[in-house]
Structure 1
Amino acid sequence: MGMLTLTAILPAARPSSCNARVEICSKPHMAQIALLFTSFAIMSIGSGAIRPCSLAFGADQLDQPKNKDNVKILQRFFNWYYASVGASVMIAVTVIVYIQTEKGWILGFGVPTGLVFLATIMFFMGSNLYIKMKANKSLFTGFFQVVLASFKNKDLNLPPKNSNRWFDHNMGSKIVAPTDRIRFLNKACIVRNPEKDVTRAGQAVDPWSLCTVKQVEEVKSLFKVIPIWSTSIMIAVTVSQHAFPVLQANSMDRHLTKKFKIPPGSFDVFSVLTLIIWIVLYDQILSHQISKFTKQPEGLSLKQKMGIGLLLSCLGMVVSAIVERKRRDAAISQGLSRNPYGVVNMSAFWLVPQHSLLGLAEAFNAIGQIEFYYSQFPKSMSSIGVALFALGTAVGNLVGSLIVGVVNKYSKRGGRVSWVANNLNLGHYDYYYWVLAVLSLVNFFYFLGCSWAYGPYDEPKHWDDVHDQEAQEDTSAI
């Protein structure tokens, strides 16, 4: 953020101003582009480190054996965590956008930079108060060890469940034999020769040839959740439709009063408001009422939350298509088809329903995803589980760009105007939204298939017991 702020402060860090009379702008130098892109890259790395880890780290503060009602406590934590994220986004699209629009980029970038610096100080001030879980070895190392060991042992026959050939050096662990799912990985924990493969301390001589049952089950849990994770990509595409609604809002009447117009980039606030209101209502009132019908203490199951979110995102795209068709027809009837900067005599508040539906979809699906991933992995993999959500969002943004590119390429064949042309009135953004609606509906049925194939998801709850027992063993050893 500091480097990005420098691009606004230092005249040499950005191209010179455009000549408004001839509409000519000087191109940026390579050093200016390098500074800008480096700031983006560093912010992306920082976000990748903060977002998944902060959520898992926060859950570690609450998910302790002394808490008898861990499931309910964690559910409330995830709800309020996401509500706080929504509140920060709402501040960003209102206060920060207003500062950038009215006060300039120096202050517009400087304020977020100062807030990040303040957050850093607060984080280190509270360091001594945090519960810090013991760090484990890299998940990627364990992943490749299991895959390689199972390949090396491919010629071995699987022993029976009660056999002592399964390698598990953690005495008393509840995971004494691997499960039957993804069985080819089970060969990674078969002991060929106890005298040669295992030390007197019960450790594997070569961890790249012999892995523990727990290691194998951890890798299996990652493999098993991938299909359901893949369903999150499409909803990430729909809820990340920020640029096009801004263009729509900019071409519509944005007056809230006679003298005040809502900035086009601030209409996302309706999405965030819906998200926050729903989280508060569900956490405080609706979950108790719904639980009477579902017979589940948390109200809706995690799969139900994710499925409802996917269906709402599809509905949001349908509404977006209908509203855009109405806006485009109004622009053409008012003679603005060739004027991309003309304002249609139509209120921009027509965009509120689609923003609200997408905010509600995110509230259901995102929180459901986070809870689901956290519950399906052991604590040693909690940050990886939560990181899957951020990874799905990132992949969704890339897929969204790919969809726009494909639509643009094929819709302008034969000399026709692209559906996603710069001029909204000449293009057909309503068709583009229908494409997303159809893809979202297909994704919803794909989710139903993945959910059915996944089966019950309460089995991995014994992970925590294993982790706690191992922690006690480590403490006793120390």
Structure 2
Amino acid sequence: MDERRSLLGHRRGESEPKPGNARKVKVAQGAILLTVALERLAFYSLTGNLVLFLNRDPFIWKSYNALYCTFVFLGISYVLSFVGGIIADTLLGKFKTLLFAFVIYLVGYIFLPVVTYEDNTVSAENNTFLQAICGKFRNSEDQQNDKRSLIEENCAALIFGILTIISVGSGIFRSVIAPFGADQVRGEGPQTSLAFFNWYYWSINLGTLVALSVVTYIQQDYSFFYGFLSSNICLGLSCLVFITGCWTYIYVPKTGSILTNIFKIFFESCQRRRMHRHRENNVEHISADASDIPEFRVTESSPSFLDRAKYRFGGSFHETAVEDVKQLLKILCVFMTLLPYWMVYFQMQTTFELQGLHMKLDMSNTETYTFCNHNYSSFTTQLTSKNTLVAAWFTLFDVIFLILLLPLFDRVIYPYLKKRDRPVGIVCRISIGMMFATAAVMVAGVVELFRLKQVWPDEDKQCCSTTINQTIGHTVYRAADMSVFWQIPQYALIGISEVFTSVAALEFAYQMAPKSMKGIIMGFFYLFTGIGSLLGTGTMFAFKGTWFFQEDFGNINCRIPCTDEKRKFEHACHLDYYFFFLAGLEFLGMFVFISIAKRLRLSQHLVPVSKTSTLNNVTEKTFAKEREDLSHSASRRVNS
């Protein structure tokens, strides 16, 4: 998603460092690219299978609790990206901030092989190591008669502690590594910069591909211990490679955060607004002849809230500084309309994977089981042969479609449409991507609807389910006799939506962002991405007791109660309804985005033609405003 693309291909600093030795520049680029590839391998090795990691032995978390935890982990990781940018800009600088992030990252990640040390040899009730750390474990049979919340799951405190530490390290690293890489190629010419960020994009995808294809296979079919151990080694190598290249890096001093000026402008606007209201109240008691006095003369145009901080209205800030803040507010409004999209996007590593775990992963497994008159726990004690497919592999269809379609649209389709005077604007691209995202969760809902029909095929016996057993580790999942390949369209549609919405949203941010706020806009982009993930958690909690139940023990096939064959169920788990709800929410979000874009007249600012003339017009307006600011400032000094 988000970071798996060339994010900063057009980023420029206020001052360009002098070009360094060509050899050192190449070594610095190579070190950073390898660092990024290895770090992304470690990150996606965790997120790609986090639901399965918590849902299976030895932890045996309820499926929905595993989903909540994953949403929270991803949300915190992205939200803290914003904090990482502030730390780098104001406190430590980029290089020291990255070292700080690596230390936190490694401290958290090193616990993962530790807590999974015995997971390939023993089950939960015999895992003496974890029991020594977390106390007595509930096993799979205990779970069938146990109602527990998220914080009451096996080893919940330890797991949340580990994931929080990792999310802090990964969030800070994500926000700083791309700008630090941009520093290394400044002053080397536009072609060098373009080439670096193309390789940066491919390095991220390389790490993602290896993590989702190789490491997730080791985790699911062999052992999470060996999977986390290998990715832990990769993270350590990533840190080592980064430190090794320190003698070649270009270090740009920290410049301070623009947030300080933003808060000052808001504060002064509030202060001057109160002063203006007080002055208006006093003017009411003054005779009409007082209108000739300069202090009480009414201005020709009433200033807006933020305009009161400008020189021309008696404030302390230049015209451009205030206009930059107003432009930032417009960008944040658009980012808010993208929240439903991020809620949909993060279903890939959560509900989509959980759905896949309850579909047929072993094509050779044709033996079905019928269960009646029971409480439908997700776990049984009858182990079967290991499956041959990995549920996390299907996330690769998102990556593959992204890799194939981005160059196709960038090099072929968009230039072709532009030559025919039909350029596709950013607003149009974001809207199209939202439509594909809506289609993705709609398809997921339809797949889930048919999956549930496979589990409950007999309408006359509504409490009799027909499933296949597939073993992952020491856990048996009761899955529908329905091929997991039916999930391919929903992953593919998410990938297509990224090509339009994610890339266009970043392009929009960098086109609209003032020069002084390029860095902070990236921080806000990740911040709203993380909020979208956290909202995904909130919506699942909101429907607890409606589509998800405390009594289901994490079983997405549940019908409650079904203890009598002749008795109809009262409640049923409906992950399909959740998907349909997200589809409706995203469809509504698309119309909200179009309305906001129309109200803010974004299309006028994002026309993909006549860039030179537009830039010249903007430059002339900027100089005119600066001259006007100086004129008003001089007038005030003369009057005083």
- The TM-score normalised by the length of structure 2 is 0.57
Equivalent position to 2:235, from 88, 103, 116 = 116
Q: 1:369, CA displacement in angstroms?
A: 1.7
Measured in 2, the distance between the counterparts of 1:51 and 1:149 equals: 34
Mapping of 1:1-80 within 5 angstroms?
1-9=109-117, 11=130, 12-13=132-133, 34-61=157-184, 66-67=189-190
1:308 aligns with 2:432: yes
1:254 aligns with 2:367: no
Aligned 8 A contact 2:434 2:590 in 1: yes
User: Amino acid of the residue matched to residue 345 of structure 2?
Assistant: V
Mapping of 1:291-302 within 5 angstroms?
291-294=418-421, 296=423, 300-302=424-426
Change (3 A) 1:117 1:211: farther
Mapping of 1:234-253 within 5 angstroms?
234-241=340-347, 242-253=349-360
Give CA-to-partner distance per residue, 1:100-125, whole Å, 9 cap, x none. Answer: 22442332222222212222222233
Q: Which residue matches 1:435? A: 581
Q: Which residue matches 1:215? A: 321
Give CA-to-partner distance per residue, 1:7-32, whole Å, 9 cap, x none. Answer: 33465445566656767999999996
Aligned 8 A contact 1:6 1:13 in 2: no
1:106 aligns with 2:242: no
Give CA-to-partner distance per residue, 1:146-176, whole Å, 9 cap, x none. Answer: 111222323469xxxxxxxxxxxxxxxxxxx
Q: 1:446, CA displacement in angstroms?
A: 0.7
Aligned 8 A contact 2:455 2:466 in 1: no
Q: 1:212, CA displacement in angstroms?
A: 3.7
Q: Which residue matches 1:399? A: 535
Change (3 A) 1:275 1:327: same
Q: Which residue matches 2:557? A: 423
Q: Return 395-404 or 328-337, whichever deviates more.
A: 328-337
Equivalent position to 2:400, from 240, 252, 273 = 273
Mapping of 1:196-235 within 5 angstroms?
210-235=316-341
> Secondary structure of the equivalent of 1:345?
coil
Change (3 A) 1:7 1:391: same
Aligned 8 A contact 1:52 1:384 in 2: no
Aligned 8 A contact 2:134 2:154 in 1: no
Q: 1:280, CA displacement in angstroms?
A: 3.3
Q: Which residue matches 2:567? A: none
Aligned 8 A contact 1:83 1:275 in 2: no
1:89 aligns with 2:208: yes
Change (3 A) 1:120 1:221: farther
Q: 1:80, CA displacement in angstroms?
A: 6.4
Change (3 A) 1:19 1:398: closer
Q: Return 21-30 or 320-329, whichever deviates more.
A: 21-30
Aligned 8 A contact 2:342 2:532 in 1: yes
Measured in 1, the distance between the counterparts of 2:234 and 2:605 equals: 40
Aligned 8 A contact 1:86 1:275 in 2: no
> Secondary structure of the equivalent of 2:163?
helix
Measured in 2, the distance between the counterparts of 1:24 and 1:314 equals: 36
Aligned 8 A contact 2:359 2:479 in 1: yes
Aligned 8 A contact 1:53 1:387 in 2: no
- Size of the aligned set, in residue pairs, is 418
Aligned 8 A contact 1:316 1:358 in 2: yes
Aligned 8 A contact 1:17 1:25 in 2: no
Change (3 A) 1:103 1:421: closer
Q: 1:434, CA displacement in angstroms?
A: 1.3
Measured in 1, the distance between the counterparts of 2:302 and 2:504 equals: 24
> Secondary structure of the equivalent of 1:346?
coil
- The TM-score normalised by the length of structure 1 is 0.74
> Secondary structure of the equivalent of 1:368?
helix
Aligned 8 A contact 2:327 2:514 in 1: no
The structure whose RCO (Cα within 8 Å, separation 6+) is larger is 2
Q: Return 350-359 or 7-16, whichever deviates more.
A: 7-16
Measured in 2, the distance between the counterparts of 1:291 and 1:182 equals: 40
Structure number with bigger Rg: 2
Measured in 1, the distance between the counterparts of 2:183 and 2:523 equals: 15
Aligned 8 A contact 1:377 1:460 in 2: no
Change (3 A) 1:310 1:218: same
Q: Which residue matches 1:457? A: 605
Equivalent position to 1:348, from 484, 507, 529 = 484
Equivalent position to 1:366, from 502, 523, 526 = 502
> Secondary structure of the equivalent of 2:481?
strand
Q: 1:306, CA displacement in angstroms?
A: 1.7
Aligned 8 A contact 1:94 1:269 in 2: yes
> Secondary structure of the equivalent of 1:422?
coil
Aligned 8 A contact 2:219 2:226 in 1: yes
Aligned 8 A contact 1:3 1:36 in 2: no
Measured in 2, the distance between the counterparts of 1:31 and 1:424 equals: 22
RMSD: 4.0
Measured in 2, the distance between the counterparts of 1:339 and 1:181 equals: 71
Q: 1:350, CA displacement in angstroms?
A: 0.7
Q: 1:78, CA displacement in angstroms?
A: 6.7
Percent of paired sites with the same residue: 25
> Secondary structure of the equivalent of 1:267?
helix
Change (3 A) 1:407 1:36: closer
Change (3 A) 1:309 1:64: farther
Q: 1:292, CA displacement in angstroms?
A: 2.3
Aligned 8 A contact 1:320 1:430 in 2: yes
Measured in 2, the distance between the counterparts of 1:229 and 1:20 equals: 43
Aligned 8 A contact 1:87 1:272 in 2: no
Measured in 2, the distance between the counterparts of 1:127 and 1:294 equals: 48
User: Amino acid of the residue matched to residue 93 of structure 1?
Assistant: L
Measured in 1, the distance between the counterparts of 2:232 and 2:137 equals: 24
Aligned 8 A contact 1:255 1:261 in 2: yes
Change (3 A) 1:337 1:263: farther
> Secondary structure of the equivalent of 1:36?
helix
Mapping of 1:107-146 within 5 angstroms?
107-146=226-265
Measured in 2, the distance between the counterparts of 1:80 and 1:402 equals: 37
Measured in 1, the distance between the counterparts of 2:155 and 2:142 equals: 24
Aligned 8 A contact 2:547 2:578 in 1: no
User: Amino acid of the residue matched to residue 225 of structure 2?
Assistant: I
Structure 1, gaps ≥5 residues long: 158-179, 194-208, 467-478
Give CA-to-partner distance per residue, 1:287-340, whole Å, 9 cap, x none. Answer: 3323323555xxx43323222211110111221122222222222116785478
> Secondary structure of the equivalent of 1:126?
helix
Measured in 1, the distance between the counterparts of 2:508 and 2:419 equals: 22
Aligned 8 A contact 2:429 2:504 in 1: yes
User: Amino acid of the residue matched to residue 542 of structure 2?
Assistant: V
> Secondary structure of the equivalent of 1:408?
coil
User: Amino acid of the residue matched to residue 457 of structure 1?
Assistant: H
Aligned 8 A contact 2:455 2:557 in 1: no
Change (3 A) 1:13 1:52: same
Aligned 8 A contact 2:327 2:512 in 1: yes
